[in-house]
Amino acid sequence: MTTAFVSHSDCGRHDTGWGAPEHVGRIRAITRAFRERPELFMRLLHHEGRHALPAELVLVHDLEYIRGMHAFALAGGGRLDPDTVASEGSWAAATAAAGCVLDAVDMSFDGRALRSFCAIRPPGHHALRDSSMGFCIFGNVALAAHYARRTHRADRVLIIDWDVHHGNGTQALVEHDPGIHFVSMHQWPWYPGTGAASERGIGNLWNVPMPPGLPPAEYVDALRTAIDAATVGFIPDLVLISAGFDSLAGDPLGGFTLEMEHVAVLTREVVERATAWCKGRVVSALEGGYVPERLGEACMVHLEQLG
């Protein structure tokens, strides 16, 4: 069984400035964390992802938005929305981030690596069909779900989002597809304001809004319960994780209380279920997580349990 660590050097070209929570140091912290884990580093398949093509991005985005993003970045970038900035390298970064997840899906289905973690930025789960939002440019994980459906004939894809913020973009991009079930646990009420339990899409959404500051086991239990509810009579062919590590205790952008052991438990339980459902196919993609050292450590724990 091979597990891949998927990355792309272009993800470092999305220059948001060091004052932004979502900065290039986040990815560097992951690379640094490997220094303490040489055995983990050695047993992973290290894969440089590709760039997603506009012809792929149109699975979830308007062509006009895609073209506009290309032109905006080439012209030097600037502020895209109140939270999101782009630099000249952001087109290369955003297409690489999406392309890494698509490559991971390909590897999961063709057997090169049944499981992957994609260390990518910009993140994706707030991006909408025709706009950036909340540090996100393209909907990496929603795109991967539709790509798996289209290219690999996956009948059922499960998305699990444990970022502390609601994956409103992912929700908007999958809520009409009965072949995609989306589970999101998030702080509520909190940014971006969506994600009430009553938001069910066509019965394919399981939103788990939670207050901040609870004992961590309560978050683990709530997410586990939602995953099990979302898979009654729905055996996924692929599991995607929106791995936001801003759900860890101490994150400046959230009030959840998870520690490394909870990242381990959640990852292990998803892998166990995926093994029963679909040969163990799990593709995980980085979303938030704004204390770089904690993020790096969490990625190591996550990878240890994936592989």
CB of 141 to Zn ion, least distance (A): 13
- b/e sequence 62-81, b meaning 16+ C-beta within 10 Å: eeebbeebeebbeeebeebe
Whichever of 6 and 164 has its CB closer to Zn ion, that residue is: 164
CB of 203 to Zn ion, least distance (A): 26
The length of the chain is 307
Whichever of 109 and 188 has its CB closer to Zn ion, that residue is: 188
Residue 302 designated active-site: no
Whichever of 171 and 231 has its CB closer to Zn ion, that residue is: 171
Closest residue to bound Zn ion by CB: 288
Whichever of 56 and 163 has its CB closer to Zn ion, that residue is: 163
As to burial, measured by CB atoms within 10 angstroms (0-12 exposed, 13-18 middle, 19+ buried), residue 253 is: buried
C-alpha distance from residue 101 to each of 98, 141, 234 (Å)? 5, 7, 23
Task: Find where tokens 């699975």 sit.
Answer: 59
Query: Is the separation of the CB atoms in 157 and 236 below 8 Å?
Result: yes
Closest CA to 157 of 170, 169, 168, 167: 170
Tokens for 111, please give them.
């057997």
CB of 88 to Zn ion, least distance (A): 25
Helix (H) or strand (E) holding 100: helix 90-110
What is the four-CA torsion angle of 211, 213, 215, 217, rounded to 10 degrees?
50
Q: Which of 126, 165, 186, 262 is catalytic?
A: 126
Whichever of 108 and 168 has its CB closer to Zn ion, that residue is: 168
List residues binding Zn ion (CB under 5 A): 163, 165, 244, 246, 288
Closest CA to 182 of 199, 202, 204, 203: 204
CB of 180 to Zn ion, least distance (A): 20
Closest CA to 101 of 274, 242, 283: 283
Tokens for 229, please give them.
């509810």
Tokens for 10, please give them.
């272009």
Whether the upstream peptide bond of residue 212 has omega within 30° of 0, thus cis, is no
CB of 192 to Zn ion, least distance (A): 9
CB of 101 to Zn ion, least distance (A): 17
Whichever of 244 and 296 has its CB closer to Zn ion, that residue is: 244
Known catalytic residues are: 126
